[in-house]
Amino acid sequence: MSELVDFTRNGRVVKARLNRPRQRNALNTQLASELIEGMVALDTDPDVGCFVITGDERAFAAGADIAEMAGMSYADAAARDVFGEWERFAKLRTPKIAAVNGYALGGGCELMMMCDFAIAGEGAKFGQPEIKLGVIAGIGGTQRMTRLIGRSLAMDMHLTGRMMDAAEALRAGLVARVVADDRVLAEATEAAETIAGYSKPATMLARDAVNRAEEGSQAEGLLFERRIFHSLFATRDQKEGMQAFLEKRAPEFHGT
């Protein structure tokens, strides 16, 4: 049973709420384990169509748990492969949306960037302030942020440790949407319900195709996309989706 992550399921949407309010949802080992294990267990469930990850009104997640790391040596960090477990979260194939209020800093910003997209409140703040602690981002922040917002702005964020407000994050491409603070979870839930209503094989493969654009040449990406497109003609959902379009009715997808 999870203590630091509250999982709720409504239809095909699963919400995971980080629950360390006194620590502003800092990502310690226990929280990471509960979040990752809980979501991995649901990832292959055909009846789960989308995840929403959120925190509270003060913080999505204000970083990794510094108290847990401060006394580590290099040998400790390397032997434990600190933060290596987050690759399992990043590789989840079910679409995941970050619903962000308040602070998304350090590991919290990295958690958001491991989601497929983010919906943020107008008062949200983002940053990678690890440089102020004598370290750098360790859960993919230098890599994912550069791909999302470009080299120059990523350098600014990582080298100065400054915070970015929601308006700048939207302009830069760090988040997909900005809404009123009290609408964040509702907007993310609506988006998740829309995604969960589609064919799960199609949404999973759409993620694969979009992610492939960052990993190779355009020619390789175009071929990968085309082969994925071809493969979906082997699914029952493709037949249903196209037949429903021709019959001018809503499709009934089955995830097969």
Instruction: List, by residue number, the catalytic residues.
Output: 64, 107, 110, 130
How many residues make up the chain in this entry? 256
Residue whose structure tokens are 């409140």: 121
Per DSSP, the residues of the chain read --SSEEEEEETTEEEEEE--GGGTT-B-HHHHHHHHHHHHHHHT-TT--EEEEE--SSEEE--B-HHHHTT--HHHHHHHTTTTTHHHHHT--S-EEEEE-SEEETHHHHHHHHSSEEEEETT-EEE-GGGGGT----SSHHHHHHHHH-HHHHHHHHHH--EEEHHHHHHHTS-SEEE-GGGHHHHHHHHHHHHHTS-HHHHHHHHHHHHHTTTS-HHHHHHHHHHHHHHGGGSHHHHHHHHHHHTTS-------
Cβ neighbour number for residue 30 with a 10 Å cutoff: 15
User: Angle of helix 200-212 relative to helix 236-246, nearest 10 degrees?
Assistant: 100
CB 29 within 8 A of CB 2: no
